[in-house]
Structure 1
Amino acid sequence: MKLPKEGDFITIQSYKHNGHLHRAWRDTMVLKTTEHALIGVNDHTLVTENDGRRWVTREPAVVYFHNKYWFNIIAMIREEGISYYCNLASPHIIDEEALKYIDYDLDVKVFPDGYKRLLDIEEYEIHRRTMNYSAELDYILKENVKILVDWINHQKGPFSPSYVKIWYQRYLKLKNR
């Protein structure tokens, strides 16, 4: 599969462990791809839920996916500052149709003031039992929460204030071509 290139638009599809489509984002602009990572922007992007409900994202967001880590990161650019929504998820794959990953329920939200909150613990526990997450998968996800929190605490990668600014500025240049 040929990787998308800068300026291309792709679809992002989130699945659940049972193989059911969870959510899809249409027309994410690709800013950079490497063998391991993809950086893009959602800006008033159409999102379709598994029940057919549709909505549009409210603000621009820089998205980060890496095929070695069990999380992805959404940096939402808001008036009050940057908020992050981090999904604990399988490493992504890219095929002819979309960038795809499995969403494993747990999320970490980081507020503009740096406050962190682990979300959806109950949903994770229910799905862990009903969808039979293995002990190995449970371990991997919990270890990746630790990696993610370390990245947040040390402002690594997408959590660096300059990272979001640089990639958003790149998006604005591409958008206005």
Structure 2
Amino acid sequence: MTAPSAGSDIQIKSYKHDGHLHRVWESTIVLKGTEQVIIGANDKTLVVESDGRTWITREPAICYFHAKHWFNVIGMLRNDGIHYYCNISSPFVFEENSIKYIDYDLDLKVYPDMTYDLLDEDEYQIHRDKMNYPGVLDRILYNNIADLQRWVQQRKGPFSPGFVDQWYERFLTYRF
């Protein structure tokens, strides 16, 4: 797998387990790109849903993807602090100038005080049954949720103090 270079503009594409395209973020600036980790940033970027609907993100976001973890983390800079939206997903691949991953519906929403909620378990159950997820996948995903919760509690990786702010400062050097 090749890695994108810092400063390049890429897309983020999420898919569903059955292979259909779920959502595309049209423009993300790469801040760090290796075969293992990609850190990117976007602000007011166009998002296209699978049904053709579009919307624009409201605030700057720092995106963290790891090739060995079954989740990705989006840190959104809001007036009341950093909010994190963590997608439980396959590890990413980078190809065709895009970060690609399978979104497994489950999400961990982390608030500025580092409390969190697990979201969309009902949606996950529906898709698990509809798309016949293998039992081993269920175990992998829930193990990764536990890992992600530990990261939040230990302030590890993208949850460490200053992580989002540091990468946002780097993003600003590319924008102006």
| TM-score interval for Structure 1 and Structure 2 normalised by the shorter chain | over 0.9
1:20-35 → structure 2 map (5 Å cutoff):
20-35=20-35
The amino acid of 2:70's aligned partner reads W
Which residue pairs with 1:99 in the alignment? Answer: 99
Which residue pairs with 2:58 in the alignment? Answer: 58
1:14-53 → structure 2 map (5 Å cutoff):
14-53=14-53
Which residue pairs with 2:82 in the alignment? Answer: 82
Gaps of 5+ in 1: none
State whether residues 2 and 35 of structure 2, in contact with CA within 8 Å, keep that contact through their aligned partners in structure 1: no
- The answer to whether structure 1 residue 129 and structure 2 residue 129 are counterparts is yes
Question: TM-score, normalised to structure 2's length?
Answer: 0.98
Alpha-carbon distance, 1:35 to partner? 2.0
SS in structure 2 opposite 1:161? coil
Comparing 88-97 and 100-109, the one that deviates more:
88-97
Which residue pairs with 1:149 in the alignment? Answer: 149
The amino acid of 1:170's aligned partner reads R
Moved segments of 4+, more than 6 Å: none
The CA deviation string for residues 84-142 of structure 1, in whole angstroms up to 9 with x for no partner, is: 00000000001124110000000000011222000000000111111001010000000
The amino acid of 2:107's aligned partner reads D
State whether residues 66 and 91 of structure 2, in contact with CA within 8 Å, keep that contact through their aligned partners in structure 1: yes
Which residue pairs with 1:158 in the alignment? Answer: 158
- The answer to whether structure 1 residue 108 and structure 2 residue 123 are counterparts is no
SS in structure 2 opposite 1:94? strand
SS in structure 2 opposite 1:114? coil
Query: Matched residue pairs, number?
Result: 176
Q: Please give the alpha-carbon distance, in whole angstroms, between the structure 2 residues aligned to 1:161 and 1:174.
A: 23
SS in structure 2 opposite 1:58? coil
Taking every aligned residue pair, what percent have the same amino acid on both sides?
Answer: 56
